[in-house]
Amino acid sequence: MEIKRIKTPLEVNIIEQLKAGEKVYLNGYIYTARDAAHKRFIDTLNEGGKLPFDIQNQVIYYCGPSPAPPGRVIGACGPTTSSRMDAYAPKLISLGLKGMIGKGKRSQAVKDAIKQFKAVYFGATGGAGALLSKSVKSSEAIAYEDLGPEAVMKLNVVDLPLFVINDIYGSDLYESGTAQYKK
Amino acid sequence: MKEVHVDTVISALEKLFIDANYDLSQNVLDTLEKSIDKEESPVGKEVLRELIKNANLAKEERIPICQDTGLAVTFIEVGQDVHIIGGSLVDAVTEGVRRGYAKGYLRKSACHPFARKNTGDNTPAILHTKIVPGDKIKITVLPKGGGSENYGSVKMLVPSEGKEGMKALVLEMVTKGGPNPCPPIIVGVGIGGNFETSALLSKEALMEPLGKRNENPEIAALEEELLTAINKTGIGPQGYGGTVTALDVHVKMLPCHIASLPVAVNIQCHAHRIKEAII
């Protein structure tokens, strides 16, 4: 199938071209964060603090990698279930976050925020942690190292294979795909 | 009486958990290969190809198949003519898990239920033991991720709900999970026994090789029927839509109380990691 190459920071004119069901290769810097890190992001914002990185036009990957063995940049690094981040995502999208990578369905509030603020939700193949790790060229823990596998890491990725799930036009691959093949 | 030192058990456990997380079995790989032809969706086919590529890379380059290297589910059958020496079997299992997850660079995913503090070494293991005839110890490990385990269910059905009630529960859990348990999934169904037996049966059902039908024709027919129904849901690989939602369904059934109909559903992801050793 045809594959689009895109890069971070994600610009709106690129997001406008992405449609649910398309495969893309993502390039550039992205940030990992899962449950515990998201809770801290929101607690920090509520206390009037600053996030550990500037999220303008950035992409967050819902991922807690396995430990990197000696000589490797990262361990296996597939996606975790995104719905656990649904409570926090709309706030981050409203502040400039443009992309999220994970697996599984999003809440209506997240889908609404994706449309309203022009963002995008990508699916990475769950359980393909070895394959996805091959796209990671560098990794650096930049915050919350006390959280172990849940620390925030800055990853440099080359051709990270993803599918567009929720686009700005309101399409949802989980719904349209399932409806198409239901018998 | 055959003597087995706990050190042998520790080493076996350590190796099994590392191997399970790096080497997807040929049985699962073959099943994934065959499923590409069965899949009607081009996106679904692409996902299945990614999964095969992933498994091969994991094996060749020694990277865990999935970063969720699971809780350490361990089944041990101890021959009644075996005498374990040098310490306790339970401590040996704990130590084997600890070493395997440390030396194999596997993720530690065990935590306190409320405080969510990580135990740090992926212990305690989820250990099931059985005393069997003979002088051998058979160890089977099934490191299992959280994403798929979250869509398990045990329900005490009313007997009048019968087969249809059982089928409805299986489909309810598969549909509820949708993309989250990482389809194509494997479904284990435990029917009968009592509350806890049904749950254990559903887990044991996952340990059957893919493609193998139950020897009991009544149960084999149930497996076929459930597999067909699940693959008509349209969920497909990764939930992106398609005709391969499950790679297989296994059912285990036991008699139950005249007033009950326990049914348990346990869902496994496509990264079906299982290894066994006999001491």
> Helix-strand-coil percent breakdown of chain B, rounded to 5?
40, 25, 35
Please give the pLDDT value at position A142.
96
A172 CA: distance to closest CA in chain B (Å)? 9
User: Can A73 be counted among the known catalytic residues?
Assistant: no
d(CA B178, CA A63): 19
Mutate to test the interface with A, among B41, B49, B54, B109 (most CBs of A within 10 A): B54
pLDDT at residue A121, as a whole number: 98
What does the pLDDT read at residue A147? 86
Residue A136: beta bridge partners? A157
Chain A residue nearest residue B176, CA to CA: A105
CB contact under 8 A, A127 and B269: yes
Largest CA distance in chain A: 51
Q: Where is A117: in which H helix or E strand?
A: helix A108-117
Q: Is the pLDDT of residue B116 over 90?
A: no
The verdict on a CB contact (< 8 Å) between B178 and A178 is yes
Q: How far is A25 from chain B (nearest CA, A)?
A: 13
Element (H, E) at A13: helix A12-15
Inform me whether the pLDDT recorded for B115 exceeds 90. Answer: no
- Using one digit for the tens of pLDDT, what is the confidence trace for B180-228? 999 999 999 999 999 999 999 999 999 999 999 999 999 999 999 999 9
Question: Is 90 exceeded by the pLDDT of residue A6?
Answer: yes
Per residue in A92-102, pLDDT tens?
999 999 999 99
pLDDT number for residue A149: 81
B203-236 CB burial, b ≥16 within 10 A, e <16: bbbbbbebeeebeeeebeebbeebbebbbebbbb
DSSP output for B152-176 = -EEEEE-GGGHHHHHHHHHHHHHHH
Distance of alpha carbon A61 from alpha carbon A31, whole angstroms: 6
Query: How high is the pLDDT of residue A1?
Result: 79
Residue B152 phi, psi (nearest 5):
-85, 160
The whole-angstrom separation of Cα A181 and Cα B186 is 19
A63, A75, A126 member nearest B147 (Cβ) = A126
- Residues of B within 8 A of A81 (CB-CB) are 147, 150, 180
Average pLDDT value over all residues in chain B: 97
CA–CA distance, B244 with B182 (Å, rounded to integer): 12
Q: What's the angle, vertex CA B247, arms to CA A82 and CA B12, rounded to 5?
A: 85
Rounded to whole angstroms, the maximal C-alpha distance in chain B is 58
Which CATH number does the domain housing residue A167 bear?
3.20.130.10
pLDDT at A114 over 90: yes
Distance from C-alpha of A161 to C-alpha of B50, rounded to nearest angstrom = 9
The DSSP bridge pattern shows strands B82-85 and B137-141 to be unpaired
Using DSSP's 3-state secondary structure scheme, residue B252 falls into strand
d(CA B64, CA B55): 9
What average pLDDT does the segment A156-167 reach?
Answer: 98
Number of domains into which chain A is organized: 1
Between CA A108 and CA B138 the distance in angstroms is 48
Chain-centre distance for alpha carbon B174: 15
Domain ranges of chain B: 2-20+65-143, 146-271
For residues B183 and B35, give the distance between their C-alpha atoms in angstroms, rounded to a whole number: 12
Residue of A34, A38, A40, A111 with catalytic role: A38
Handedness of CA B254, B256, B260, B262 (dihedral sign): negative
- Residues of chain A in contact with residue B228, where contact means CB-CB under 8 angstroms, are none
Question: With an 8 Å Cβ cutoff, are B241 and A123 in contact?
Answer: no
**For residue range A70-110, what is the model confidence (pLDDT) as tens digits?**
999 999 999 999 999 999 999 999 999 999 999 999 999 99
Measured between CA atoms, how close is A118 to chain B, in angstroms? 22
Average pLDDT, chain A: 96
- Structure confidence by residue, pLDDT tens digits, B74-93: 999 999 999 999 999 999 99
A109 membership: H or E segment, kind and range: helix A108-117
Q: How far apart are CA A89 and CA A92, in angstroms?
A: 5
Residue contact A129–B269, C-beta within 8 A? no
B52–chain A nearest CA distance, Å: 9
- Section B155-166 average pLDDT: 98
User: For B17-47, how does the pLDDT look when each residue is reduced to its tens digit (9 = 90+)?
Assistant: 999 999 999 999 999 999 999 999 999 999 9
- The range of the structural domain enclosing residue A21 comes to 3-181
Residue B117 has pLDDT above 90, yes or no: no
**Cα–Cα distance measured from residue B72 to residue B59, given in angstroms and rounded to the nearest whole number:** 20
ipTM attached to this prediction? 0.92
Q: Do A86 and A100 contact (CB within 8 A), yes or no?
A: no
Please name the residues in contact with B172: beta carbons below 8 A apart, sequence gap of 6 or more: B153
CA-nearest residue to A176 within chain B is B241
The full DSSP string for A17-35 is T--TT-EEEEEEEEEE--H
- pLDDT tier at A148, thresholds 50, 70, 90: confident
Helical segments of chain B, H only: 6-22, 26-38, 42-61, 89-103, 146-149, 162-177, 195-205, 217-230
A177 and B43: CB-CB below 8 Å? yes
Structure tokens at B167: 């089928």
pTM above 0.90, yes or no: yes
Indicate if the pLDDT at residue A131 is higher than 90: yes
Structure tokens at A110: 């997240």
**A14 has a pLDDT exceeding 90:** yes
pLDDT at A11: 97
Peptide bond into B124 cis (omega under 30): yes
Q: What is the pLDDT of residue B193?
A: 98
- What pLDDT was estimated at residue B141? 98
Q: CA-nearest residue of chain A to B39?
A: A181
Distance of alpha carbon A26 from its chain centroid, rounded?
11
Are B239 and A23 inside 8 Å of each other by CB?
Answer: no
DSSP state of B264: E
